[in-house]
Amino acid sequence: MPYNNPQNYLIAGNDEHGVNPPTAGKRTPMMPYIDRQIYENEFNFNAKNAFLADCLRIGFRILDVKPNRQDLSVSNRVVTVNRAGANAVVTFAYNAFGDGMTFNNANGIEGYYSPLNPFPTQSRNFADLVYSSILLEAGLNGRGVMALDVGMLSNVNCIACLMECGFMTNFREAKLMLDPDYYTRVGRAACRGVCQYFNVEYIDIADQAFPTLRTGSRGNFVRYLQFLLKTNGYAVGNVDGVFGANTRAAVQAFQQANGLDADGIVGRLTWYKLNNFTPQARVLRRGDYGAEVEYLQKKLYSKLYNVGPIDGIFGAQTEQAVKEFQAENGLIADGIVGRNTWAAIADESNSRPLI
């Protein structure tokens, strides 16, 4: 059976709750070492962006239901989905158990669909595929797919599912909320599940052929480029698939921030940095900067090492965090992130314990 054209489908991504201001109660217990709580939306927002980026890369049309960090009423989100005529919506969330103030042993991933959705059987099948795909990549306990009557599942005029991708009240899973590898895996896995449902070919990002883009380029990969730049804080204007002056300026700013020739042309090296392929291949030390440093900072912070601002600049505080990580994991505490340190960082078990 031939694959379907992804351009025929509009896929919506939704992230529950907000951080600006934070939605009341939707956060972890106090995290030791970094002395703060992690807001649920810190995971949801990043997983949604990883999902939508992957959907764009595959060729789907996308709808970001809640692009801002503020919470938005369910009724407003339902209206957004229905007005756009979306074909499917995936909502990203994180679970909790107990009083929310203390950690406990509840764990794992849950999927939901609504029997009151206009397409209940299809929504159940859709939820099963997205859930199974996430479960395969996440490495957490599977708690199954269940029925739930909530607005984002029941009242949209398309198939819909909600994925609870861990428990905020489980110490291990709370740390995963900040792990860039975890929320990226979850987002991409959800896209794979969407592809399975709509019989669209899924190409792993490592196998993707990325074209050279420059001023005047148009199409799906320009949208993907623009979305990546926008979610990384670069002003591209509209994600419209047209490589114009704003996109070129954003590309140049990204290139300059990553030590590349700022020519505004997106070739192999720029794609490599944008997609952050194998950041572990680069030895990092104080004074370095760029996407690999930002990835390092996010990984260490998810392990509860205070790296300072996550800004892609390897300064004194990041160096101190590296030394602390090295000392606590049997490595030479020289503050240089080479092969052995990268390997230790990649091991999820090398993370600070609950105290």
Of all helices (H) and strands (E), which one includes residue 115? none
Residue 1 clears pLDDT 90, i.e. is over it: no
**Backbone conformation region of residue 218, classed left if phi is above 0, alpha if psi is from -120 to 50, else beta:** beta
Task: Encode pLDDT of 55-75 as tens digits.
Answer: 999 999 999 999 999 999 999
The beta strands (E) that lie in 65-192 are given as 88-95, 109-113, 142-147, 159-167
**Tokens 């379907």 — which residue?**
4
Parse the chain into domains and list their residue ranges: 6-198, 211-274, 280-346
What pLDDT is stored for residue 10 in this prediction?
98
Q: What is the pLDDT of residues 201-241, one digit of tens each?
A: 999 999 999 999 999 999 999 999 999 999 999 999 999 99
- The tokens for 83 are 């007005």
* 307 pLDDT higher than 90: yes
CATH topology for 6-198 is Aminopeptidase (3.40.630)
CATH number for the region 211-274 comes to: 1.10.101.10
Dist. CA 245–CA 181, nearest whole Å? 32
Q: Which distant-in-sequence residues (6+ apart) come within 8 Å of 236 by Cβ?
A: 226, 229, 230, 246, 247, 250
Q: pLDDT per residue over 172-200, tens digit each?
A: 999 999 999 999 999 999 999 999 999 99
Asked whether this chain's domains 6-198 and 211-274 adopt the same fold, the reply is no
Q: Which CATH superfamily is domain 280-346 in?
A: PGBD-like superfamily/PGBD (1.10.101.10)
Give the pLDDT mean for 270-292: 95
- Residue 65: closest CA among 156, 183, 146: 156
pLDDT tens digits for range 144-162: 999 999 999 999 999 999 9
CA–CA distance from 99 to each of 34, 176, 193, 235, 313 (Å)? 21, 20, 33, 41, 38
Share of the chain above pLDDT 90, in %: 99
